[in-house]
């Protein structure tokens, strides 16, 4: 008996058992923190978000202040990034431009997530003719190159930042719709969904309490990467004159207005381009880190 007692593993106290039970989100955060590139991406994104929030405090000048006598001044202590063809401070315009780019990125992706997730859940859960109709709509939208479809939508609605946001949201809906649909098709076959139906839960409660929460991880990853794409598409529309209108300091529009001065004043093109590159890089690095942290197949 003494030998059996010595070989029996000691019982863990309840507190120790609770400490061992780590939530999936905490586990994902621990994995995310180990990825150095993901932390770099998070730092870049956080930096630009802080710039956008505190632009009024950080920017040394108003973005629309015109001083023709100061046009095309090179970078200096008074104007860190130089001035443009109207004597406006480029550093201040880039800071205020971060508000626009991030606003378009977050809002357009949020709209795409809401509409795409709703259509994807309905198509995947109910199937049959509903799935066929929604899937064909997705296929039609995806048949067009995204930037050409965005140009067409803005051309119909009229050039403006709001219409550019709507166009970017529309072209990203199929991406989230198909992602959520594929996830729902696998989740709805699980035993806990069958048990929920057996106890009389309504379809709405099943979708909200079971299907949607189990589809959040891929949505978060794709959403982070889609923000980077939305910022590039916003800059492209602005470059073509279909997005933000003067004097709004949108990065793509700043590139468009300065391209003819690239030899005379290269800093007018360099710094808006760097702002776009760094922001997109930050979101891509963070999205890759989230994918590695939330996808079980990526873990060792």
Give mean pLDDT, residues 74-96.
Answer: 89
Q: How many domains does the chain have?
A: 1
- Respond yes or no on whether the N-terminal peptide bond of residue 97 is cis (omega within 30° of 0): no
* Residue 111 covered by a domain: yes
Indicate the average pLDDT of the chain.
82
Task: Output the six-digit token pair for 113.
Answer: 């997530």
Position 47 scores a pLDDT of 93
Question: Is the pLDDT reported for residue 31 higher than 80?
Answer: no
- Domain of residue 217, residue span: 47-298
1, part of any domain: no
Least confident of 80-84, 206-210, 244-248: 206-210
Q: Render pLDDT for 117-176 as a digit per residue (tens, 0 to 9).
A: 889 888 888 878 888 999 899 999 888 888 889 999 998 888 888 899 999 999 999 999
Q: Is the pLDDT of residue 297 over 70?
A: no
Instruction: Assess if residue 161 is contained within a domain.
Output: yes
Residue 42: inside a domain:
no
Tell the residue number behind the tokens 């776009």, with chain if given: 276
- Choose among 102, 36, 42: nearest CA to 286: 42
Per-residue pLDDT band for 290 (boundaries 50, 70, 90) equals confident
The Cβ-side half-sphere exposure at 264, using a 13 Å CA radius, reads: 10
* Residues 97 and 275: beta-carbon distance below 8 Å: yes
**DSSP character string of 35-99:** -HHHHHHHHHHHHHHHHHHTHHHH-SS-TT---GGGTTPPS-SSSTT-B-TT--BHHHHHHHHHH
Give the domain CATH number at 220: 1.10.3720.10
What pLDDT shows up at residue 159? Answer: 87
Task: For residue 143, tell me if it sits in a domain.
Answer: yes
Cβ atoms of residues 125 and 197 within 8 Å = no
Q: What pLDDT does residue 281 have?
A: 92
Q: Identify the three-state secondary structure at position 278.
A: helix
What DSSP element (H or E) covers 268?
A: helix 267-294
Each residue's pLDDT tens digit, 49-62: 999 999 889 888 88
pLDDT of amino acid 1? 44
Answer yes or no: are the C-beta atoms of 50 and 298 closer than 8 Å: no
Residue 9 in domain: no
Stretch 253-267: mean pLDDT: 87
> Residue 140 domain-assigned?
yes
Q: What is the pLDDT of residues 36-52, one digit of tens each?
A: 888 898 999 999 999 99
Output the pLDDT for position 280.
92
Q: How far apart are CA 17 and CA 27, in angstroms?
A: 16
Tens-place pLDDT, residues 210-256 = 777 777 778 888 888 889 889 988 888 888 888 888 888 888 888 88
In a domain, 35, yes or no: no
């Amino acid at each position: 008996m003494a030998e059996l007692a010595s070989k029996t593993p000691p019982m863990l106290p309840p507190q120790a058992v609770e400490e061992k039970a780590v939530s999936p989100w905490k586990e994902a955060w621990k994995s995310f923190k180990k990825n150095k590139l993901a932390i770099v991406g998070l730092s870049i994104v956080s930096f630009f978000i802080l710039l956008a929030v505190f632009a009024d405090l950080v920017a040394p000048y108003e973005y629309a202040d015109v001083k023709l006598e100061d046009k095309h001044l090179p970078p200096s202590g008074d104007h860190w990034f130089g001035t443009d063809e109207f004597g406006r401070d480029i550093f201040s315009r880039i800071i205020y431009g971060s508000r626009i780019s991030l606003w378009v990125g977050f809002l357009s992706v949020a709209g795409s997530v809401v509409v795409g997730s709703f259509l994807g859940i309905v198509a995947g859960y109910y199937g049959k003719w509903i799935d066929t109709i929604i899937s064909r709509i997705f296929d039609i939208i995806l048949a067009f190159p995204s930037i050409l479809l965005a140009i067409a939508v803005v051309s119909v609605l009229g050039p403006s930042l709001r219409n550019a946001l709507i166009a970017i949201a529309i072209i990203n809906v199929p991406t989230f719709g198909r992602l959520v649909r594929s996830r729902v098709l696998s989740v709805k076959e699980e035993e806990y969904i069958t048990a929920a139906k057996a106890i009389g839960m309504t379809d709405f409660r099943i979708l909200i309490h079971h299907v949607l929460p189990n589809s959040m991880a891929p949505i978060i990853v794709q959403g982070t990467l889609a923000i980077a794409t939305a910022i590039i598409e916003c800059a492209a529309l602005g470059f073509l004159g279909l997005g933000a209108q003067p004097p709004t300091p949108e990065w793509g529009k700043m590139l468009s207005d300065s391209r003819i001065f690239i030899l005379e004043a290269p800093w007018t093109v360099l710094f808006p381009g760097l702002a776009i590159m760094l922001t997109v890089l930050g979101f891509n690095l963070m999205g890759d880190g989230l994918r590695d942290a939330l996808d079980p197949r990526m873990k060792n």
